[in-house]
Structures are given as structure tokens and as C-alpha cells.
Chain A
Amino acid sequence: AQSVSQHNHHVILSEAASLELGCNYSYGGTVNLFWYVQYPGQHLQLLLKYFSGDPLVKGIKGFEAEFIKSKFSFNLRKPSVQWSDTAEYFCAVNAGDSNYQLIWGAGTKLIIKP
């Protein structure tokens, strides 16, 4: 069965630190990849997506992610985090043609200390 793994359930960083959140998926075919963010008290919002083309994708609020097909990974990065980045981050995969469901990781709770 297809699955998505997020390596860290909780991450605590200080402001201005660099961030990398890991995401690995298990599916050998064509995939669409997503990172969603959920700020405290808010609904899930799309942070960035990869469908095809340049494996380095840029999203909102200075986030970027790199698709490495050989490693089945789609890690999220930000060079310098801010207190306002405190949120829960979810990686999701849509795997294969005519497959409309998103398969989700368990999420990473990120806390930024001011």
C-alpha cells in the first residue's frame, strides 16, 4: 500500500534557524507532491506543489521543496524561520493516473522560539 512518512513529529527551532522537514513516499510511478500547512486555529492551506518539471519548487512565505525521485523524497526547506512559521506541516502525495486521493503523512509540529 502507498504510504507517506514524515520523519519528525515535533521540531523546535529558534528564529533565524534553517529548517528542513523530511518527507518520503512509497510509490514507484508518477506522483504529484504537496506540502500543506495548518497554522494554529486555521484550516489546511497549500504551501507548495510539484507536478512535473523543475524538481526544486518554491512556495509561499519563502518555503521551497526539492523532489528527489531516486530517493522518493520531497523535503521542505526554509533558510531562516520566523516565529510566525509555528504551525503543523503535512506532506501529501497523489499517486498515479486516475488516482484522485491524497495520501498524507502524520504531520510535523513546528515550534519557533522567539
Chain B
Amino acid sequence: DAGVTQSPTHLIKTRGQQVTLRCSPKSGHDTVSWYQQALGQGPQFIFQYYEEEERQRGNFPDRFSGHQFPNYSSELNVNALLLGDSALYLCASSFQGNIQYFGAGTRLSVL
């Protein structure tokens, strides 16, 4: 049984570019949450998707957007990248928003 899978594992972009990160949830899960984890800090909630809609959003600008597909997989898009967007981006899946299980993350570096 595959757990939560994220791709790519590492990504290097330059300021102003756009990036798309992908997440496949654990089998049987229908909800995907995205978090940003800066070095030395705990994760910060970006948003959660359920039934293909954004159900809740954290304190992140509109440059951060997402999507959930009918197979429950999800994408996180970040536009107009800033140096401060460099972080580990974590995807977590759950069944109807309960206990969240995490993927290994995508390390984004913005130069």
C-alpha cells in the first residue's frame, strides 16, 4: 500500500518563475493538505482540498493556488516566486480531514 507520494523531490527555480508540485494521497484517502516548512520551523498550513474544492486556507497570498483532481491527487502552484518561498513543501492526506499522513516533501530552492 503506497503512502503519500510527492514529486519532484527537489526543484530549483529563479525569482519570478512559476512552479507546480504534485501529490498523490494514500490509498483510501480523499483529502489533501499542503504545508510549507521553512528551515528550523514547524510546518505552516497553506490550504486543504476536499471534494475537489479548497475547504480551508491558511495565511498565504493568492500566488499560492491549488487543485484537486477526481482521483484525489493534488497540485500546488506558486506564481511569481520570491526568495522567501524557498522551503520544504509537504503534502498530507487524510480521510475526510482526520488524521493526516505526510509525504517526504518537495524541497524548493528559489535563486
* Chain A, range 73-107, C-beta contacts under 8 Å to B: 90, 92, 99-107
Q: A43-B104, A90-B42 are in contact. Are A100 and B33 (CB under 8 A)?
A: yes
Tell whether A4 pairs with B58 under 8 Å between CB atoms, given A101-B33, A102-B100. Answer: no
Q: Please tell me if the beta carbons of A103 and B102 are within 8 angstroms of each other in the complex.
A: no
Q: Please name all residues of chain B whose beta carbon is closer than 8 Å to the beta carbon of A101 when the two chains form the complex.
A: 33, 45, 48, 56, 58
Answer whether residue B44 sits at the interface, using C-beta atoms and an 8 A cutoff: yes
Q: Which of B26-50 contact A (CB under 8 A)?
A: 31, 33, 35, 40-45, 48, 50
Chain A residue numbers with a CB within 8 Å of B90 are: 44
Known contacts: A43-B102, A46-B101. The answer to whether A100 contacts B55 by CB under 8 A is yes
Contacts known (A44-B90, A49-B99); A103 close to B105, Cβ less than 8 A:
no
Interface size class of A (residues with CB under 8 A): 20 to 34
**Which A residues are in CB contact (< 8 Å) with B44?**
104
Do the beta carbons of B56 and A100 come within 8 Å of each other?
A: yes
Q: Is B103 an interface residue (CB 8 A)?
A: yes
**What's the interface size class on B, roughly?**
20 to 34
Bound Cα distance A44, B100 (Å): 10
Say whether, besides A43-B103, A43-B105, A44-B102, A104 and B97 are in contact (CB < 8 Å).
no
Partner-A contacts on B (CB < 8 A): 4, 31, 33, 35, 40-45, 48, 50, 55-56, 58, 90, 92, 97, 99-105
Q: Chain A: residues with CB nearer than 8 A to chain B?
A: 4, 34, 36, 42-46, 49, 90, 92, 99-107
17 contacts between A and B (CB under 8 A): A4-B42, A34-B99, A43-B103, A43-B105, A44-B90, A44-B102, A92-B42, A99-B56, A100-B50, A100-B97, A101-B58, A102-B35, A102-B92, A103-B45, A104-B42, A106-B42, A107-B42
Given contacts A49-B99, A102-B92, 8 further A-B contacts (CB under 8 A): A43-B102, A43-B105, A100-B50, A102-B35, A102-B43, A104-B42, A104-B44, A107-B42
